[in-house]
Amino acid sequence: MRVEVRCYGEVAAAVGDRTRTLSLADDATVGDACAALSIATESFSGGLVVLVNGSHAAADAALSDGDTLALSQSPMRE
């Protein structure tokens, strides 16, 4: 399947791109997409915000062909 990934802030800097299209296995999860991008959720200040098609999603959320995955670091806590 193909998934469009949109990266923001620290995530875009880590990935080296703001947008990327990934080809993943049919049973891929958000975690698989992050692994394909070589990013770890704990490496970003405040953690990672994940949206699939505009809705918050966990690392174990299943992806479907044509999904849009948005990744951004959480705002830093004061």
Enter the DSSP assignment of 34: H
Q: What is the CATH number of domain 2-73?
A: 3.10.20.30
- Strands of the sheet containing 55-56, edge to edge, are 19-23, 2-7, 68-73, 48-52, 55-56
Nearest to 68 by CA among 12, 26, 22, 16: 22
Residues 43, 22: Cα–Cα separation, whole Å: 21
pLDDT 10s digits, 32-60: 999 999 987 667 767 889 999 999 999 89
What pLDDT score was predicted for residue 77?
Answer: 46
Q: Position of tokens 């405040």? A: 46
pLDDT 10s digits, 3-24: 999 999 889 998 999 999 999 9
Q: What is the DSSP string of 3-22?
A: EEEEE-THHHHHHT-SEEEE
